[in-house]
Amino acid sequence: MTNLFDLTGKTALVTGSSQGIGYALAEGLAQHGARIVLNGRNPQKLQAAAKALRADGHDAHIAPFDVTDPDAVMAAITKIESEIAPIDILINNAGMQHRAPLEDFPHDKWDELMKTNLDSVFYVAQAAARFMLGRGHGKIVNIASATSELARSSVAPYTAAKGAVRNLTRGMATDWAAKGLQVNAIAPGYFRTPLNKALIEDKKFTAWLEARTPAGRWGDLDELKGAAIFLASDAASFVNGHTLYVDGGLTISL
């Protein structure tokens, strides 16, 4: 039982992992023994993130590619499989936010947001699954959101995309569970990340959030690691299609 959460010998690809939630999840998996492949579109930021992991004694690699380009995704996954190691764990974390009144929401931002937050989950999971299915095992963890369940003004497109990620996770599990894959999602609440910088600096919003969340505060990034380690490990061998909310109780209270 003590080895249930051991990821030694496993290789994990984490998209959007040069900073924020993605980096924290990559670090958490590395701390439990996984070899890490960091992804993003900025090679310099990825190199800095990989250097930080290596400084702590972890095995870290980088794979710069655009998760919204299906051809680039397939080429990159194939390269990782052949030049680094077979991918045992995929964390689909890449995402973006754009806030605007819905009646004025720019169409180009809608397209960009959907490609980044939803299409990429399909592209990367499909490419990785083609290899995982051949081996009869694999873990896919999609990053959903508290807004997979709840809505807020000015972020309706983000809410739509993250709601779709939750149901796409269920669909992936339905198709692939019998073939040895476990596909689940983590739905973070409000965490202190670069993506939430504007909200963190908004004292009125922070006061509302602290009053609205049973835990009474923002989440710290380290508090997401356990969920990722669990879903990526043998401890979750019979967990499929589940969305694990890590939100301080935000989605269960009025």
Q: How far is Cα of residue 248 from the mean position of the Cα atoms in its chain?
A: 18
Distance, CA of 192 to CA of 196 (rounded, Å): 6
From 12, 48, 16, 28, select the one nearest 195 (Cα to Cα): 16
Selecting among 123, 158, 190, 245, the annotated active-site residue is 158
Distance, CA of 137 to CA of 37 (rounded, Å): 18
As given in the structure block, the two tokens for residue 132 are 């995982």
From 105, 87, 71, select the one nearest 35 (Cα to Cα): 87
CA dihedral of 229, 127, 92, 170, whole degrees rounded to 10: -80
Within 10 Å of residue 131's Cβ, how many Cβ atoms? Answer: 16
Distance, CA of 152 to CA of 103 (rounded, Å): 14
As given in the structure block, the two tokens for residue 178 are 């019998």
Give kind and range of the element (H or E) at residue 212: helix 203-212
- Report CA Rg, the chain: 17
Strand partners of residue 245:
187
Active site residue 123: no
Hey, which residues are catalytic here?
158
